[in-house]
Amino acid sequence: MPKTKCAVSICREYVDLPERYCEKHKGNADKTYNREVRYNKDNVKYARFYASSAWRKARRSKLAQQPLCEECLREGKITAATIVHHMIELKDDWNKRLDADNLESICQECHNKKHKRRITP
């Protein structure tokens, strides 16, 4: 299997491709995504909302109320929900950001499908 150096510049560890980070730095991909995409200057309003205690409380409440993926349940599958999804996106209606009727408990796979993202191996 071909190897490459860990993507953290000061790290000397090698990883098997297609991995980019060694075991010590595996969380760096999420940190980079959050810094470059989710928390860029164009998304400050959304970043502040998702970091707010009001959102964390609403998210916790929704997952406690419905711990299973609602999309999978409609298809007859039982899957744990890990994401609280806004059915009407924030950019379309900011006022529905904490509306319980606009929140849906879903799994990562269903969330990716809704946003047409591919799951990378």
In a domain, 45, yes or no: no
- Count of domains for the chain: 2
Do 106 and 81 share a domain, yes or no?
Answer: yes
Do 118 and 66 share a domain, yes or no?
Answer: yes
Do 22 and 62 share a domain, yes or no?
Answer: no
Band (pLDDT 50/70/90 cuts) for residue 6 is confident
- Please measure the distance between the N-terminal and C-terminal CA atoms of the chain and give it in whole angstroms: 16
CA trace torsion 19, 24, 28, 31 (10° rounding): 150
In a domain, 43, yes or no: no
In a domain, 46, yes or no: no
With b for 16 or more beta-carbon neighbours within 10 A and e for fewer, the 85-113 pattern comes to bbeeeeeeeeebbeeeebbbbbbeebbee
How do residues 66-111 score in pLDDT, each as one tens digit?
999 999 999 999 999 999 999 998 888 999 999 999 999 999 889 8
Per-chain mean pLDDT for the chain: 83
d(CA 77, CA 121): 22
Do 76 and 114 share a domain, yes or no?
Answer: yes
